[in-house]
């Protein structure tokens, strides 16, 4: 999936947008809610939590315009180097992003150089990143770095480096000769897996650029006896009968393909001489190559005899697949399905299968893809567990496609909840509005006042008792003054 941020604004979209109260957006224009989401998430790229940075990067990858992705790339690369514990998870995401937009990671290619303490998975993903960001400007530095990796004691890492060299040579033909020379040296490596991988990568490069690598194939054919790996020998036997982009080559001209056609029968004869000790894969390739050269070199008298000899040996082999292949080729080329009979006993009239021999054996085929250091096998959403483990886990939900019609913005509004009625219990975390909020704060204030008065009365109990005694004394004094006034009034009455 590529980062997409455009909304289709067709006639139907415009009509539906009008009915929902929204205006249709022009192609490439973002809605206000979309801009708000991206603007609010951008500061999170500076978070010290690598998980937060990873989640924001996935959001921008799917929803942001392409011109805003460089900042996300910078934040992800920094998070990869700053947190070694999450390095593998972030690299998994980077490997997916680099296949869509490799130009975003070219300025950071040195950050993907392999370290001595990296795990095997991290090394493979870093090599994958390097194969996508190689350019003419950094090819020299990249090739020197890869040649250093070839001296690593880990054979598994050396095999992955060989694959990375092959992919770099396929992307940049200018550095192809240097890469192929390095692979040619590795074809004689004492480790079988390294030598096999080098020959397989050379075969893939030859299929992509046949005219430029025929000389390398001729050198490898002369060194066939030095190749001990079964897969490497099978690859060289297959290369001996390939047309190298020139189907008209029959060994009579002066082109490199014709020169190879003259060498090929001798190479196949040397392999057939050791037929009993060869691996089953090499035997199958030998049968196929002999059948192809019989059709390509009709004037060569040795090829029909070599084909008859190999078919006879395959008829008594222990492998079921090899015996079945021998019967098929016998029916295609000699008109009979009995692989043990000689060529002189074959049917004189061509069989229906024999009429289609050219179409079956010499059909055009696309070149196979070059092996990758870390091939991707999952198209799950970035940041999901399915993307990390490369298979769909239970509960995984795919990312929905972008809508063609702009949804209304009112679905994202959050209205205040209505007051609960009929004595229903209000759930927790429900917003209170209007009078309820005022009553709530009024109750808090009254309770706080009462608590303050209680505390003050408790603290000033001593002073309160003193004031009560003073009030009592003043009250008794006032009562005595009132009695004296009454006595004086009675004396005055008696005088009158």
Q: What is the DSSP string of 149-195?
A: HTT-S-HHHHHHHHHHHHHHHHH-GGGHHHHHHHHHHHTT-SSHHHH
Tell me the CA end-to-end span of the chain in Å, nearest whole number.
124
- pLDDT-derived band at 16, boundaries 50, 70, 90: very low
Mean pLDDT confidence for 454-480: 46
Is the CB of residue 42 less than 8 Å from the CB of residue 57? no
Of 318, 369, 307, 371, which Cα lies nearest the Cα of 342?
A: 307
- Give the model's pLDDT for residue 249: 55
- Give the model's pLDDT for residue 344: 45
Q: Take residue 370 and report the two structure tokens written for it.
A: 């070059």
The answer on pLDDT for 199 being more than 50 is yes
Of 219, 163, 156, which Cα lies nearest the Cα of 192?
A: 156
- Give the model's pLDDT for residue 131: 92
pLDDT digits (tens, 9 = 90+) for 77-96: 999 888 788 899 999 999 99
- Give the model's pLDDT for residue 225: 84
Of 34, 52, 66, which Cα lies nearest the Cα of 409?
A: 34
Of 144, 74, 139, 65, which Cα lies nearest the Cα of 104?
A: 74
Which range is least confidently modeled, 22-26, 36-40, 135-139, 285-289?
A: 22-26
Q: Take residue 143 and report the two structure tokens written for it.
A: 């090739």
- pLDDT-derived band at 311, boundaries 50, 70, 90: very high
* Helices 69-82 and 87-100, packing angle to 10 deg: 150
- Give the model's pLDDT for residue 162: 93
Distance (Å, rounded) from C-alpha 380 to C-alpha 396?
Answer: 9
Q: Quote the pTM value.
A: 0.69
- Give the model's pLDDT for residue 169: 87
Distance (Å) of CA 393 to CA 58, 374, 401: 19, 21, 20
**Where is pLDDT greater, at 34 or 472?**
34
pLDDT digits (tens, 9 = 90+) for 409-426: 776 676 655 444 444 545
- Give the model's pLDDT for residue 105: 92
The answer on pLDDT for 469 being more than 50 is no
* Helices 435-459 and 461-495, packing angle to 10 deg: 80
Per DSSP, the three-state class of 345 is helix
**Where is pLDDT greater, at 42 or 260?**
42
- Give the model's pLDDT for residue 482: 46
Mean pLDDT confidence for 5-32: 52
**Where is pLDDT greater, at 367 or 232?**
232
Distance (Å, rounded) from C-alpha 399 to C-alpha 58?
Answer: 11
Distance (Å, rounded) from C-alpha 177 to C-alpha 386?
Answer: 40
- Which range in 276-280, 298-302, 458-462 is most confidently predicted, on average pLDDT? 276-280
**How many CA atoms lie within 13 Å of 109's alpha carbon, on the beta-carbon side?**
22
- pLDDT-derived band at 314, boundaries 50, 70, 90: very high
Q: Take residue 364 and report the two structure tokens written for it.
A: 């055009």
The answer on pLDDT for 28 being more than 80 is no
**Where is pLDDT greater, at 475 or 36?**
36
Distance (Å, rounded) from C-alpha 55 to C-alpha 2?
Answer: 17
240 secondary structure, DSSP code: H
Mean pLDDT confidence for 277-292: 92
- pLDDT-derived band at 430, boundaries 50, 70, 90: very low
Mean pLDDT confidence for 206-230: 81
The answer on pLDDT for 277 being more than 70 is yes
- pLDDT-derived band at 188, boundaries 50, 70, 90: confident
CA dihedral of 136, 137, 141, 145, whole degrees rounded to 10: -50
Of 309, 356, 315, 362, which Cα lies nearest the Cα of 337?
A: 315
- Give the model's pLDDT for residue 251: 55
Per DSSP, the three-state class of 4 is coil
The answer on pLDDT for 466 being more than 60 is no
The answer on pLDDT for 385 being more than 60 is yes
Other C-beta atoms lying within 10 Å of the C-beta of residue 114: 21
Q: What percent of the chain has pLDDT over 70?
A: 71
Distance (Å, rounded) from C-alpha 431 to C-alpha 414?
Answer: 11
Q: Take residue 31 and report the two structure tokens written for it.
A: 């809605």
Distance (Å, rounded) from C-alpha 401 to C-alpha 448?
Answer: 56
Of 64, 62, 93, 63, which Cα lies nearest the Cα of 76?
A: 93
Distance (Å, rounded) from C-alpha 69 to C-alpha 57?
Answer: 8
- pLDDT-derived band at 210, boundaries 50, 70, 90: confident
């Amino acid at each position: 999936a590529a980062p997409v941020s455009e909304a289709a604004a067709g006639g139907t979209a415009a009509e539906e947008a009008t009915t929902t109260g929204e205006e249709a957006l022009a192609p490439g224009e973002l809605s206000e809610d979309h801009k708000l989401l991206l603007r609010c998430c951008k500061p999170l790229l500076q978070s010290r939590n690598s998980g937060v940075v990873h989640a924001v990067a996935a959001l921008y990858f799917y929803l942001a315009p392409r011109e805003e992705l460089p900042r996300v790339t910078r934040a992800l690369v920094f998070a990869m180097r700053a947190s070694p514990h999450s390095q593998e998870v972030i690299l998994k995401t980077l490997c997916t992003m680099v296949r869509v937009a490799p130009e975003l990671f070219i300025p950071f290619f040195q950050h993907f150089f392999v370290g001595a303490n990296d795990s095997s998975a991290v090394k493979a993903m870093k090599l994958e990143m390097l194969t996508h960001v190689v350019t003419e400007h950094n090819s020299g530095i990249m090739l020197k770095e890869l040649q250093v990796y070839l001296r690593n004691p880990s054979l598994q890492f050396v095999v992955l480096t060989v694959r990375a060299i092959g992919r770099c040579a396929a992307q940049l033909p200018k550095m192809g000769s240097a890469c192929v020379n390095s692979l040619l040296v590795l074809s004689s490596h004492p480790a079988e897996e390294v030598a096999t991988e080098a020959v397989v990568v050379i075969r893939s490069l030859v299929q992509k650029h046949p005219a430029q690598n025929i000389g390398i194939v001729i050198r490898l054919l002369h060194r066939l006896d030095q190749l001990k790996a079964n897969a490497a020998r099978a690859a060289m036997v297959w290369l001996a009968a390939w047309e190298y982009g020139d189907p008209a080559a029959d060994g009579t001209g002066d082109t490199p393909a014709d020169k190879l056609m003259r060498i090929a029968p001798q190479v196949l004869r040397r392999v057939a001489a050791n037929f009993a000790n060869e691996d089953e894969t090499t035997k199958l390739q030998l049968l196929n190559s002999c059948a192809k050269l019989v059709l390509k070199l009709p004037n060569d008298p040795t090829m029909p005899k070599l084909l008859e000899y190999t078919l006879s040996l395959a008829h008594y082999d222990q492998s079921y697949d090899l015996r079945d292949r021998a019967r098929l080729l016998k029916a295609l080329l000699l008109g009979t399905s009995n692989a043990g009979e000689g060529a002189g006993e074959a049917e004189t009239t061509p069989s229906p299968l024999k009429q289609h021999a050219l179409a079956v054996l010499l059909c055009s085929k696309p070149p196979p893809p070059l092996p990758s250091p870390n091939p991707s096998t999952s198209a799950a959403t970035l940041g999901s567990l399915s993307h990390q483990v490369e298979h769909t886990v239970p509960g995984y939900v795919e990312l929905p496609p972008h809508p063609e019609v702009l949804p209304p913005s009112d679905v994202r509004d959050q209205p205040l909840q209505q007051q609960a009625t009929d004595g229903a219990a209000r759930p927790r975390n429900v917003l209170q509005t209007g009078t309820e909020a005022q009553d709530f704060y009024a109750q808090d204030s009254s309770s706080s006042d009462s608590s303050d008065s209680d505390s003050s009365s408790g603290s000033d109990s001593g002073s309160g008792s003193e004031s009560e005694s003073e009030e009592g004394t003043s009250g008794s004094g006032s009562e005595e003054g009132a009695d004296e006034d009454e006595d004086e009034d009675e004396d005055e009455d008696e005088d009158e």
